[in-house]
Amino acid sequence: MAYPPGYRSAPSTSGDGRDLILFDVLTVLVIVHFFLSTQGTSLATATTIYSIMWLMSLVILAMLRVYGGRSGQEGDLVDYDENVGRAHLPWLIGSVAVIAIIGGLAAAAVSKGITISILYVPRPSLAQAPGIFGSSTVLDDVLYNFFLVAQAEESVKLMAILALYRKTRNELVSAGLPIAVWAIFHAYMAYVGQGMDMFLVAAFVSGIVLYIVLRQTKSLLNAVIAHGIFDTIVILSSLVH
């Protein structure tokens, strides 16, 4: 939604960031767990990178908030600390459904019967105990992607979008560039081969969908949850193939 020049939004009673702060605390605990449990495995480097990404984004987002203000004021393109509410449920369900449909169509067109996700989903269970599936290993996969991967990626995208907007004052460019980089990374990590361009487009559209969730609900946490739910669906679906 565009605001007229000089408009200042009314203070929000639900934008105190309580839910996001609680999620951040849980993320710290998950990082500690996986930092210890993935040492010596193929995911050790990825765990370190994701942790640094998230911590870096926290620091820069805090700096941008201090030196910029909220949506509708000079500075931030969007507000992002609204608490999660029931009114956001349609956005969460709808976004996951759209991403799943887009991903399913792209994968079906390219994979020829092989299950492939348009989004790269790291699997600690495979790094720790290849070929062994159980409740504990599946839970590790879900926790890793929900609290670390989705949290880090959505936070970094938001950080980049807000920082670019300070320079460009162009939402299309500011949102499009980080989403494009994110899409290229996911498409490349998920699949390389004939038809990869379809994965790139599908991943880019998925990134736009997640940005719309953030934009409309004014909640980074909603984008993280939608991302995490999709990753969880990918993990659980892999158990039946």
Neighbours of 105 (CB within 10 A): 13
- Nearest residue to 118 (alpha-carbon basis) of 189, 224, 222: 189
Q: Is residue 188 part of a domain?
A: yes
Number of domains in the chain: 1
What's the confidence (pLDDT) of residue 190?
A: 64
Q: Is residue 136 part of a domain?
A: yes
Dihedral pair phi/psi, residue 130, rounded to 5°: -55, 135
- Nearest residue to 107 (alpha-carbon basis) of 98, 116, 97, 99: 116
Q: Is residue 11 part of a domain?
A: no
Half-sphere exposure of 202 (CA within 13 A, CB side): 28
Alpha carbon separation from 183 to 115, 187, 213 (Å, rounded): 19, 6, 17
Task: Give the amino acid at 200.
Answer: L
How many angstroms from the chain centroid is the CA of residue 165?
19
Q: Is residue 141 part of a domain?
A: yes
Integer Cα distance of 240 and 212 in angstroms: 31
pLDDT digits (tens, 9 = 90+) for 5-59: 544 443 444 567 899 999 999 999 999 999 998 888 888 999 999 999 999 999 9
Q: Is residue 171 part of a domain?
A: yes
Alpha carbon separation from 48 to 53, 54, 57, 88 (Å, rounded): 9, 10, 14, 32
Q: Is residue 10 part of a domain?
A: no
Contact 44, 38 (CB under 8 A): yes
| Residue 119, domain extent | 18-238
Q: Is residue 197 part of a domain?
A: yes
Q: Is residue 52 part of a domain?
A: yes
pLDDT digits (tens, 9 = 90+) for 96-139: 999 999 988 887 777 654 455 667 788 887 776 555 554 458 88
